Amino acid sequence: QKEVEQDPGPLSVPEGAIVSLNCTYSNSAFQYFMWYRQYSRKGPELLMYTYSSGNKEDGRFTAQVDKSSKYISLFIRDSQPSDSATYLCAMSGVDSNSGYALNFGKGTSLLVTP
């Protein structure tokens, strides 16, 4: 079993919809959770960062972590065509074998249609 699982999509939604992107993980040592956005042919850009369980909101974006279920989510409200990108989840923890290296999901491709 991969340490981080993420549905690759593609996910297609109309403009203005609420988008839900998710990852599951197996390593209970993970405590640091990130979401990256990657536009086509560009490097990933850090979008959200959370520590341990709970919610974090930044504008139209909300990151949610449920450590008991080993499940993280990214919600995008009022989605815009400019949100069309691949979204990568990433995580790590002090006990993970690779130190400060991150464990990435494979990314979910999102298309927001006007």
Partner 1 sequence: DVKVTQSSRYLVKRTGEKVFLECVQDMDHENMFWYRQDPGLGLRLIYFSYDVKMKEKGDIPEGYSVSREKKERFSLILESASTNQTSMYLCASSYPGFYEQYFGPGTRLTVT
Task: Give the footprint of partner 1 on this chain (CB under 8 A).
Answer: 8, 32, 34, 36, 41-46, 49, 88, 90, 92, 98-102, 104-107
d(CA 3, CA 19): 24
Task: Name the residue nearer to partner 1 (CB basis): 34 or 79.
Answer: 34
Would you say 33 or 64 has its CB closer to partner 1? 33
Specify the residue, 74 or 90, whose C-beta has the smaller distance to partner 1.
90
Cβ at position 12, least distance to partner 1 in Å = 19
Residue 68 CB, nearest distance to partner 1 (Å)?
21
CB of 87 to partner 1, least distance (A): 12
Which of 61, 54, 5 shows the shortest CA–CA distance to 32?
A: 54
Give the number of other CB atoms < 10 A from CB of residue 48.
Answer: 19
Q: What is the bridge-based pairing of β-strands 54-58 and 19-25?
A: unpaired
- Residue with Cβ nearer partner 1 (33 or 76): 33
CB of residue 80 to partner 1, shortest distance in Å: 22
CA distance 2 to 4: 5
First to last CA, the chain: 38
